[in-house]
Structure 1
């Protein structure tokens, strides 16, 4: 059975919006404000995660973001690994997908992702996908959160987790420092059994 792993870059106050500054958010571009050591260590951690994944799951906007930035044709070990992985895109509007090994999941998100978890053995990594993540959390489909916490408080912006219908208990299972100042926190969702 698959494990849904939500992998996100966030600020200390949980903002995930516009890390590169390309979306025009007034407080965007925070990713580029860390030093080279942090960015290099971040890239190494992302590669390790990709090498351990069995599939990617993303929403339409995140898929389009990756495609628009050339991930389908980039060189390098990380890009090649992402290209080789099966990619599942939740969308009611996309048809043919140009990124190799990509499949559209149409229909009810909860049903389709539940089926995907039954089919895939191993980590199904979710990058970005601010519309999809709350649905996965709300419907108890996420199993783990891996947060790269950047040392900034923005005070505004779209946060990874907003309101939920109930409290979601988590257990911290790993912490480490990436580079000089990025915290890498891993949480597992605690399920009532």
Structure 2
């Protein structure tokens, strides 16, 4: 059985939009694209963030992506050079190799290698994938998809890199449609840059979600 793991770079006010670059996602007039990369460039002088991502992604055996995140990733990892040196080449090879499952109401086909659409019943499809696969099934971005998964108790772990900044605008991980969810903090690590790496799992003895 697989483990569905949500990973996000997140601000103190819960924003996860476009941490990777200025043009990654400008939806809603978002003007702070690249906020996490900019912060790391200035403050992560030890390269701890990159080491953590490398360790996390070495465990990725499949990807779950919402349509918007799929578009962003397919326009990047799917076309980047697999033979690039270092971490970028390693990640590109891994993301091209692993299965990718895409939740979309509008797409009729996906062109990225080893990608497929989840179909109309996303929770049922994801539950079947989790039951059939081994290893970590990774979710990045994809706030709407994550809310749907949480509504059906399909998230096993949240790994959040919490940046000590407030943006005041942007897409949030825990939006107004997110279900009531009880979580337990299972680990927390402060990097020299000030970023907190917090890992949460559904709280034992309490329902993971409900009203």
| TM-score (ref. length: structure 1) | 0.89
Find the partner of 2:44 among 29, 38, 44: 38
CA spacing shift, 1:150–1:165, aligned 2, 3 Å: closer
CA spacing shift, 1:189–1:153, aligned 2, 3 Å: same
Q: Please tell me whether residue 170 in structure 1 is matched to residue 183 in structure 2.
A: yes
- Unpaired runs of 5+ residues, structure 2, are none
Q: Does the CA-based 8 Å contact 1:8-1:147 persist in structure 2?
A: yes
Task: Report the secondary structure of 1:34's partner residue.
Answer: helix
Find the partner of 2:61 among 54, 64, 72: 54
CA spacing shift, 1:78–1:139, aligned 2, 3 Å: same
1:130-169 matches, within 5 Å, as 130-163=143-176, 167-169=180-182
Q: Please tell me whether residue 97 in structure 1 is matched to residue 98 in structure 2.
A: no
Looking at structure 2, the residues matched to 179 and 99 of structure 1 have their Cα atoms a distance apart, in angstroms, of 37
Task: Report the secondary structure of 1:141's partner residue.
Answer: coil
CA spacing shift, 1:50–1:29, aligned 2, 3 Å: closer
Q: Which segment is superposed worse, 36-45 or 153-162?
A: 36-45
CA spacing shift, 1:95–1:42, aligned 2, 3 Å: farther
Measured on the aligned residues, the alpha-carbon RMSD in Å equals 2.1
| TM-score (ref. length: structure 2) | 0.82
1:87-126 matches, within 5 Å, as 87-126=100-139
- Note the C-alpha offset of 1:101: 1.4
Looking at structure 2, the residues matched to 43 and 136 of structure 1 have their Cα atoms a distance apart, in angstroms, of 27
- Note the C-alpha offset of 1:131: 1.5
Looking at structure 1, the residues matched to 63 and 154 of structure 2 have their Cα atoms a distance apart, in angstroms, of 14
Q: Does the CA-based 8 Å contact 1:72-1:83 persist in structure 2?
A: no
- Unpaired runs of 5+ residues, structure 1, are none
Looking at structure 2, the residues matched to 165 and 125 of structure 1 have their Cα atoms a distance apart, in angstroms, of 19
